[in-house]
Chains A and B, each alone.
Chain A
């Protein structure tokens, strides 16, 4: 009988309680070494003239450009435009995915009606829909938002559906014997039980949303990070192009960290599971 207590558990004088040493933190800084070495190598190669300034500018040059564009407000304005697009698209695609995924996961009728066409739709590479979308909704903002919404929809739909379907029926049954009605079972069993899957879907969705944004913003756009990059390409401003890539990467990284923090907060019970 081994018992492990997480730090936030009130450790009591239970006989069976076995005190565990605090989990040792892995030294995280070690993971920073190789990226820093690569950056330093890149910088050195640029300064030594091994990499042409017009092909790939040094990281310091990209940073300087970033600073300049941030200082005159250009970067901020374009970033805000891109973020707005991503947020609206993600909200539309995400809400649709949650609603349809829950319906198909919970109701047999909804499953029969919704799932086949959605499964078919998943097989279409949604980025290849750009020409069709332009014909349908025009070349403006709606095309970009639709593309982001489409990209975000599928991962979240499938993970919501799978999360609900994977819930242990025995737990639902136990909740029924405790006198919980349908709504209470949804709240206390189905929602928390499918949350790990939904979080995974959300992370994948956000990744797909950024990807869709990159593609969407390269087609007839007047603002946004993608526009900044396309314009810079025409003037051969490689530093701005690389800066755009950095910004995209940073956005992806930040959103992932955000979701993972949220996940840790919400799914604390899984920490206990891991500790055993």
Chain B
């Protein structure tokens, strides 16, 4: 059975790579006869952004839901700090609460909520209903809701997946700004290799229920798809995902 120790992991688990905030050991999850996660090992350091890539149906979202504590049927060991927040692909704002009240859901510090809303540039829309926002704005509110609980780690399930291409670029920029300001760690589930290479310090590839590859993204900031080294990593990741791309040279 699952044994879980939720809560802040102190310096006793600190490794030479720095403090570890998220750790998973042998996480398994089956749906009937289909085993989706067959013993996943994973660790995320403090302030580290880890991208989780994988083909459709590879179990990326399943793993994230396990770590978010939303899947009682998973087995294995995992530890996630109590101060964590989740952003889903859809904004999942409560339609019957105004924007600020959505951000303040479960948070007592209203000032922090207003501040978080200001950080995503929507403080002027605090009194609006979610239905009055555009898709990008709603997703920004979802990020503000996550920020308002000053998380040590953000669990992001394809947070930019449902947005149009231009909005997605703006959101990725916003994410980098928030990250440099708050220094949270993040697990970013995505199917977008470019997004992983733009935002993450490390990319994991989930294949056949296990972490099949662990690839450091050693590109300097600010990153751009046309920067040197980007294409090489991109080809490598796509190859690991089973989509080989011929080299340009």
Contact = CB atoms under 8 A, between A and B. Distances in A.
B145 A178 contact: yes
A273 B124 contact: no
Contacts of A119: none
B165 to A, nearest CB: 14
B106 A184 contact: yes
Contact of A170 (B90, B96, B97, B98): B90
Contact of A1 (B95, B136, B145): B136
Contact of B134 (A3, A174, A275): A3
A12 B95 CA distance: 21
Contacts of B92: 170-171, 173-174
Interface in A189-220: 189, 192-193, 195
A32 to B, nearest CB: 32
A9 interface: yes
Interface string A1-39: 111111001101110100000000000000000000000
B105 A272 contact: no
B175 interface: no
B125 interface: yes
A13 B132 contact: no
A176 interface: yes
Interface string B74-106: 000000000001101010111111100000011
Contacts of B133: 3
Given A10-B127, A13-B124, A178-B106, A193 B96 contact: yes
A260 interface: no
A182 interface: no
Contacts, number: 86
Interface string A161-180: 00000000011011111111
Contact of B132 (A3, A176, A184): A3
Contacts of B69: 176-177
A269 interface: yes
Contact of A4 (B106, B127, B132): B132
Interface string B123-157: 01101110111101100000001000100000000
A12 B122 CA distance: 10
A191 to B, nearest CB: 9
B127 to A, nearest CB: 5
Contact of A175 (B105, B107, B127): B105
B132 A275 contact: yes
A1 B134 CA distance: 6
Nearest to B70: A173
B68 interface: yes
B186 to A, nearest CB: 15
Contact of B125 (A12, A193, A276): A12
A188 B95 contact: no
B245 to A, nearest CB: 34
B106 A180 contact: yes
Given A16-B134, A177-B85, A5 B94 contact: no
A176 B129 contact: no
Nearest to B107: A178
A77 B95 CA distance: 46
A177 B68 contact: yes
Nearest to B127: A10
Contact of A276 (B85, B127, B132): B132
A54 to B, nearest CB: 55
A275 B69 CA distance: 37
Contacts of A4: 132
Interface of B: 68-70, 85-86, 88, 90, 92-98, 105-107, 124-125, 127-129, 131-134, 136-137, 145, 149
Given A5-B128, A173-B70, A269-B95, 5 more contacts: A3-B134, A173-B92, A193-B94, A269-B96, A273-B129
Sort A-B residue pairs by CB-CB distance and give the 5 closest, nearest first: A12-B124, A272-B129, A174-B92, A178-B106, A177-B86
23 contacts: A5-B128, A5-B132, A9-B127, A9-B128, A9-B129, A9-B132, A12-B125, A13-B124, A170-B92, A173-B70, A174-B86, A174-B92, A176-B69, A176-B70, A177-B70, A178-B107, A179-B149, A180-B105, A180-B106, A269-B95, A269-B96, A269-B131, A276-B132
